[in-house]
Amino acid sequence: MEVALYLIPVTLGDTTIEKVLPSHNKEIILGIKHFIVEDVRSARRFLKKVERSINIDELSFYTLNKHTSAEEISGYLKPLLGGESMGVISEAGCPAVADPGADVVAIAQRKNLKVVPLVGPSSIILSVMGSGFNGQSFAFHGYLPIDPSERIKRIKVLEQRIYSENQTQLFIETPYRNNKMMEDIVKNCRPQTKLCIAANITCEDEYIKTKTVKEWQGKLPDLSKIPCIFLIYK
């Protein structure tokens, strides 16, 4: 196994490893002793899900979140500089995509260290695939403003882009505010604008549906407390 910083995707929900991750990932994971993670407890659970016999106590974990300084992150990479492979594990999906793991990768690239992204589920890519929207040009914006008036203003700006730039727009919301987000989109976008709602992607109760704003009116699903991604297009 080549010495590198391996970006290790995680299941998007309560899905079996075999359904979404290739066996090659397991081989790589079992060859790594140092992991940079968002949450140590969930990372341990994921590793046990990959291989029940894995000895967690033999592994080293380095916590990465929005409060971790660049100096700390740089220090985390010492094992890699010393010739040992390291892994980056996200909370869900692919590390470094809408994820603090990007900061680790940026430092590794500056230090001329090898970075290897492994194959796995990305809610962003999978939702674009399932939407029927433009997959040549799309933009993910993360969370929209919490303030109601600012959020509506932002939705209208993004809607304008789908018509002026022919670009699919994607964004997310904290799960317990999903229903309010859907209501804001339906109330403030043009009737002909298309909205795709993609929830619990890759899970048993996966929901991916595209309709016009007019068609969604009065027929919005209850998706509170469920991981969801919203896409709009013309």
Q: What's CA 96's distance to the chain center, in Å?
A: 8
Which pLDDT score, from 0 to 100, does residue 15 have? 87
**Residues of the chain by 3-state class (helix, strand, coil), percent to 5:** 40, 20, 40
Which pLDDT score, from 0 to 100, does residue 14 have? 85
The Cα–Cα gap between 98 and 78 comes to 25
Q: Which two tokens stand for residue 176?
A: 């317990």
Indicate yes or no: pTM above 0.85: yes
Per-residue tens of pLDDT for the chain, all 234 residues = 899 999 999 999 888 899 999 999 999 999 999 999 999 999 999 999 999 999 999 999 999 987 888 888 889 999 999 999 999 999 889 999 888 889 999 999 999 999 999 999 999 999 999 999 999 999 999 999 999 999 999 999 999 999 999 999 999 999 999 999 999 999 999 999 999 999 999 999 999 999 999 999 999 999 998 999 999 999
Q: Give the domains, in start order, of the chain with CATH numbers.
A: 5-117 (3.40.1010.10), 123-233 (3.30.950.10)
CA distances from 49 to 14, 28, 43, 53, 224 (A): 11, 15, 10, 10, 27
